[in-house]
């Protein structure tokens, strides 16, 4: 499935949702909220991802307009990163609204000194005195975790939290559920962000029972998510649509989002490369009812059979910069 086909499918659904809602003014309002784990903070069930999807606007004014629209729709969680190039855009969008918005950014650096320097730069670009959440960005395989430990990166994040530079700290990963689970067990973090969608759940049908997909023997849903819930971490789901790669008539966006929202997560990050996408996702979130477990299982098996191998390859070296 190409992105062009996926986007047409998404846009068709989005337009239908917008028409059903009446007009663009219906975007204004509130969204359901959930508690972000042990932080105790209530955030909207949708977060706006400010990576490559926001970058598709290619223009600061248009990107800030999209972020403003997201905030007016009730989205209180802004998800950016130091290597996205969007912290300044987020800063402009939240100016005068700081108390109403939860600001999360991520650091890709792997030495303690760089962690401190880049955190200062984030504060400046965002125009804030304090970050709400600072993640270690995109933890990869065992070698990456070893570098994080050797260079005392987590100790630097602890210090930033102790000093009040950031209220909370976390770890994100796109590609290695087992390494993320190990890191979450090992470190005292408040939140985690992981790739959670119906096509990445890691199981397939096999001779009357469920067996692990041989392409990737684990999934975040089955390996890292239980660790996060055991420790009462705030869980941020990402890649609900696989960057539109898994959208099709059989796996429509509203059902993909409903699946991710039905997991034990606090918030689902969505991109907003087009205003219509925002309308559709907000409508889904406002009308959300949990997907029954049997339906989740059937839907995820069908999605995984069609898309999982391609997504495993894509996210193995993915950085949404």
Q: Would you tell me how many other CB atoms lie within 10 Å of the CB of residue 120?
A: 11
pLDDT of residue 312: 61
Q: Given its phi and psi angles, is residue 37 left (phi above 0), alpha (psi -120 to 50 degrees) or beta?
A: left
Tokens 């034990």 appear where? 264
Distance CA 191, CA 234 (A): 4
Whole-number Å distance between alpha carbons of 73 and 50: 16
Tens digits of residue pLDDT in 34-80: 999 999 999 999 999 999 888 888 889 999 999 999 999 999 999 99
Torsion region of 173: left, alpha or beta (phi above 0 gives left; psi -120 to 50 gives alpha): beta
Q: What is the DSSP letter of 38?
A: G
Q: Give the model confidence (pLDDT) of 184-224 as tens digits.
A: 999 999 999 999 998 877 544 333 333 443 444 578 999 99
Model confidence at 18: pLDDT above 60: no
Mean pLDDT of the chain: 86
8 A C-beta contact, residue 305 and residue 204: yes
pLDDT score, position 84: 94
Confidence (pTM)? 0.87
Dist CA 19 CA 8 (whole Å): 16
Q: C-alpha distances in angstroms, 199 versus 138, 225, 244, 262, 270? A: 20, 16, 12, 14, 16
Cβ atoms within 10 Å of 245's Cβ, excluding its own: 17
Q: Which residue has the tokens 């930033």?
A: 160
Give CA–CA dist 81/61, Å, rounded: 19
Contact (Cβ atoms closer than 8 angstroms) between residue 191 and residue 223: no
What is residue 261's predicted lDDT score, i.e. its pLDDT?
98
CA distance 114 to 162: 17
Between CA 101 and CA 106, with CA 105 as vertex, the angle to 5 degrees is 160
Tell me how far apart the alpha carbons of residues 215 and 304 are, in angstroms, rounded to a whole number. 11
Q: Note the pLDDT of residue 247.
A: 86
- Helix, strand or coil, per DSSP, at residue 8: helix
In this prediction, residue 26 carries a pLDDT of 62
Neighbours of 96 (CB within 10 A): 7
């Amino acid at each position: 499935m190409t992105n062009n086909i996926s986007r047409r499918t998404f846009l068709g659904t989005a337009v239908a949702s917008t028409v059903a809602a009446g007009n663009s003014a219906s975007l204004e309002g509130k969204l359901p909220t959930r508690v972000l784990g042990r932080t105790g903070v209530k955030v909207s069930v949708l977060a706006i991802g400010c990576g490559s999807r926001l970058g598709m606007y290619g223009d600061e004014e248009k990107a800030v307009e999209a972020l403003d629209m997201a905030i007016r729709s009730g989205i209180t969680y802004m998800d950016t990163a130091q290597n996205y190039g969007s912290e300044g855009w987020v800063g402009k969008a939240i100016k005068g609204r700081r108390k109403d918005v939860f600001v999360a950014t991520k650091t890709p650096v792997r030495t303690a000194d760089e962690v401190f320097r880049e955190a200062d730069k984030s504060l400046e670009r965002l125009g804030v005195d304090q970050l709400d959440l600072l993640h270690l960005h995109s933890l990869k395989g065992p070698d990456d975790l070893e570098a994080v430990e050797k260079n005392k990166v987590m100790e630097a994040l602890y210090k930033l939290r102790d000093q009040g530079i950031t209220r909370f700290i976390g770890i994100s990963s796109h590609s290695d559920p087992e390494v993320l689970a190990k890191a979450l067990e090992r470190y005292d973090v408040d939140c985690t962000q992981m790739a959670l969608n119906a096509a990445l759940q890691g199981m397939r049908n096999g001779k009357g029972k469920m067996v692990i997909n041989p392409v990737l023997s684990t999934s975040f849903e089955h390996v890292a998510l239980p660790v996060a819930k055991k420790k009462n971490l705030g869980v941020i789901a990402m890649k609900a649509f696989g960057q539109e790669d898994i959208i099709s008539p059989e796996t429509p966006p509203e059902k993909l989002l409903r699946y991710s929202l039905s997991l034990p997560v606090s918030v689902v990050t969505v991109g907003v490369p087009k205003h219509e996408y925002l309308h559709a996702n907000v409508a889904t979130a406002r009308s959300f009812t949990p997907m029954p477990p049997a339906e989740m299982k059937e839907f995820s098996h069908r999605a995984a059979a069609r898309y999982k191998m391609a997504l495993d390859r894509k996210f193995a070296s993915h950085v949404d910069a």
